[in-house]
Amino acid sequence: MEELVDKDLEIPPIKYEYLDHTADVQLHAWGDTMKEAFEQCAMAMFGYMTDLIRVEVAQVHHVEAEGHDLESLLFHFLDELLFMFSAEPCIVAKKVKITEFDEQDLKIKATAYGEEFTIGKHTQGAEVKAITYSAMQIYDRPQVERPEVFVIVDI
Protein backbone atom coordinates (compact mmCIF):
# COMPACT_ATOMS: atom_id res chain seq x y z
CA MET A 1 0.00 0.00 0.00
CA GLU A 2 1.15 3.50 -0.78
CA GLU A 3 2.33 5.68 2.10
CA LEU A 4 0.31 8.83 2.79
CA VAL A 5 1.97 12.21 3.24
CA ASP A 6 0.55 15.33 4.94
CA LYS A 7 -0.52 16.99 1.67
CA ASP A 8 -2.63 13.91 0.86
CA LEU A 9 -4.65 14.56 4.02
CA GLU A 10 -5.48 18.19 3.19
CA ILE A 11 -9.12 18.35 2.10
CA PRO A 12 -9.87 21.16 -0.39
CA PRO A 13 -12.76 23.60 0.16
CA ILE A 14 -16.17 22.59 -1.22
CA LYS A 15 -16.95 24.05 -4.62
CA TYR A 16 -20.08 22.15 -5.62
CA GLU A 17 -23.84 22.06 -5.03
CA TYR A 18 -26.85 19.87 -5.79
CA LEU A 19 -29.62 21.06 -8.10
CA ASP A 20 -33.07 19.47 -8.18
CA HIS A 21 -33.88 17.36 -11.20
CA THR A 22 -36.82 15.02 -11.77
CA ALA A 23 -35.92 11.47 -10.55
CA ASP A 24 -32.22 12.30 -10.80
CA VAL A 25 -29.83 14.80 -9.30
CA GLN A 26 -27.74 17.37 -11.09
CA LEU A 27 -24.23 17.93 -9.81
CA HIS A 28 -22.90 21.45 -10.33
CA ALA A 29 -19.19 21.87 -9.61
CA TRP A 30 -16.61 24.56 -10.26
CA GLY A 31 -13.00 25.40 -9.63
CA ASP A 32 -10.18 27.76 -10.43
CA THR A 33 -9.21 25.34 -13.23
CA MET A 34 -11.06 22.74 -15.27
CA LYS A 35 -9.05 20.06 -13.45
CA GLU A 36 -10.37 21.35 -10.11
CA ALA A 37 -13.94 21.48 -11.47
CA PHE A 38 -13.64 17.78 -12.45
CA GLU A 39 -12.24 16.93 -8.99
CA GLN A 40 -15.06 18.82 -7.29
CA CYS A 41 -17.65 17.05 -9.44
CA ALA A 42 -16.22 13.72 -8.27
CA MET A 43 -16.48 14.87 -4.65
CA ALA A 44 -20.05 16.04 -5.22
CA MET A 45 -20.93 12.52 -6.39
CA PHE A 46 -19.35 10.88 -3.34
CA GLY A 47 -20.88 13.52 -1.05
CA TYR A 48 -24.32 12.70 -2.40
CA MET A 49 -23.83 9.02 -1.57
CA THR A 50 -22.57 9.50 2.00
CA ASP A 51 -21.58 12.11 4.58
CA LEU A 52 -17.91 12.71 3.75
CA ILE A 53 -17.20 13.97 7.29
CA ARG A 54 -17.35 10.32 8.42
CA VAL A 55 -14.91 9.10 5.77
CA GLU A 56 -11.28 8.68 6.74
CA VAL A 57 -8.25 8.67 4.49
CA ALA A 58 -7.01 5.13 5.02
CA GLN A 59 -6.53 3.83 1.48
CA VAL A 60 -5.28 5.11 -1.85
CA HIS A 61 -6.74 4.02 -5.20
CA HIS A 62 -5.78 5.06 -8.71
CA VAL A 63 -8.15 5.51 -11.64
CA GLU A 64 -7.62 6.40 -15.27
CA ALA A 65 -10.06 7.66 -17.87
CA GLU A 66 -10.03 8.63 -21.53
CA GLY A 67 -12.49 10.39 -23.78
CA HIS A 68 -12.95 11.74 -27.29
CA ASP A 69 -14.08 15.16 -26.02
CA LEU A 70 -14.32 16.88 -22.62
CA GLU A 71 -17.85 15.58 -22.00
CA SER A 72 -16.88 11.95 -22.58
CA LEU A 73 -13.72 12.46 -20.49
CA LEU A 74 -15.82 13.73 -17.56
CA PHE A 75 -18.33 10.90 -18.06
CA HIS A 76 -15.65 8.18 -18.04
CA PHE A 77 -13.80 9.78 -15.12
CA LEU A 78 -16.93 9.77 -12.95
CA ASP A 79 -17.89 6.32 -14.20
CA GLU A 80 -14.50 4.90 -13.13
CA LEU A 81 -14.96 6.41 -9.67
CA LEU A 82 -18.52 5.08 -9.45
CA PHE A 83 -17.21 1.62 -10.38
CA MET A 84 -14.60 1.95 -7.59
CA PHE A 85 -17.48 2.60 -5.17
CA SER A 86 -19.70 -0.16 -6.57
CA ALA A 87 -17.11 -2.96 -6.80
CA GLU A 88 -15.91 -5.07 -3.87
CA PRO A 89 -14.59 -3.64 -1.68
CA CYS A 90 -16.77 -0.53 -2.01
CA ILE A 91 -14.35 2.40 -1.74
CA VAL A 92 -15.68 5.85 -0.91
CA ALA A 93 -13.34 8.78 -1.51
CA LYS A 94 -12.95 11.69 0.86
CA LYS A 95 -10.64 13.37 -1.65
CA VAL A 96 -9.99 12.93 -5.37
CA LYS A 97 -6.83 14.45 -6.81
CA ILE A 98 -6.22 14.46 -10.55
CA THR A 99 -2.50 13.86 -11.02
CA GLU A 100 -2.52 14.09 -14.83
CA PHE A 101 -5.09 16.12 -16.78
CA ASP A 102 -4.33 16.05 -20.50
CA GLU A 103 -6.84 18.24 -22.32
CA GLN A 104 -5.11 17.59 -25.69
CA ASP A 105 -5.14 13.76 -25.63
CA LEU A 106 -8.19 13.73 -23.32
CA LYS A 107 -6.77 11.50 -20.59
CA ILE A 108 -6.97 11.65 -16.80
CA LYS A 109 -5.02 9.88 -14.11
CA ALA A 110 -6.33 10.43 -10.60
CA THR A 111 -5.81 9.29 -7.03
CA ALA A 112 -8.75 8.68 -4.71
CA TYR A 113 -8.13 8.88 -0.96
CA GLY A 114 -10.69 7.21 1.28
CA GLU A 115 -11.73 3.92 2.78
CA GLU A 116 -14.04 0.98 2.41
CA PHE A 117 -17.70 1.97 2.79
CA THR A 118 -19.04 0.46 6.03
CA ILE A 119 -22.72 0.48 6.96
CA GLY A 120 -23.03 1.85 10.47
CA LYS A 121 -19.95 4.03 10.19
CA HIS A 122 -20.99 5.75 6.96
CA THR A 123 -24.44 7.16 6.30
CA GLN A 124 -26.34 5.92 3.28
CA GLY A 125 -27.34 8.74 0.99
CA ALA A 126 -28.88 8.23 -2.41
CA GLU A 127 -27.44 5.41 -4.49
CA VAL A 128 -25.92 6.73 -7.70
CA LYS A 129 -26.76 4.10 -10.31
CA ALA A 130 -25.17 5.70 -13.35
CA ILE A 131 -23.56 8.78 -14.82
CA THR A 132 -25.50 10.30 -17.75
CA TYR A 133 -24.77 12.55 -20.70
CA SER A 134 -28.22 14.10 -20.30
CA ALA A 135 -27.91 17.91 -20.18
CA MET A 136 -24.17 17.62 -19.41
CA GLN A 137 -22.55 21.04 -19.65
CA ILE A 138 -18.92 22.10 -19.39
CA TYR A 139 -18.02 25.77 -19.34
CA ASP A 140 -14.40 26.84 -19.64
CA ARG A 141 -14.39 30.62 -19.83
CA PRO A 142 -11.43 31.66 -17.68
CA GLN A 143 -11.51 35.24 -18.95
CA VAL A 144 -15.16 35.63 -17.89
CA GLU A 145 -15.88 33.20 -15.04
CA ARG A 146 -14.60 30.11 -13.31
CA PRO A 147 -14.66 26.75 -15.12
CA GLU A 148 -17.78 24.79 -14.17
CA VAL A 149 -19.51 21.52 -14.98
CA PHE A 150 -23.07 20.21 -14.74
CA VAL A 151 -23.71 16.45 -14.66
CA ILE A 152 -26.94 14.58 -14.09
CA VAL A 153 -26.57 11.27 -12.27
CA ASP A 154 -29.22 8.57 -12.19
CA ILE A 155 -30.32 7.78 -8.62
Instruction: Say which CATH superfamily domain 17-154 falls into.
Output: Archease domain (3.55.10.10)
Q: Is the peptide bond before 12 cis (omega within 30 degrees of 0)?
A: no
39-76: per-residue pLDDT in tens?
999 999 999 999 999 999 999 999 999 999 999 999 99
**Please, which residues have CB within 8 angstroms of residue 147's CB and are 6 or more apart in sequence?**
30, 31, 32, 33, 34, 36, 37, 138, 139, 140, 141
Q: Is the pTM of this model over 0.85?
A: yes
pLDDT band at 1 (very low <50, low <70, confident <90, very high): low
83-126: per-residue pLDDT in tens?
999 998 899 999 999 999 999 999 999 999 999 999 999 999 98
Residue 119: what pLDDT? 92
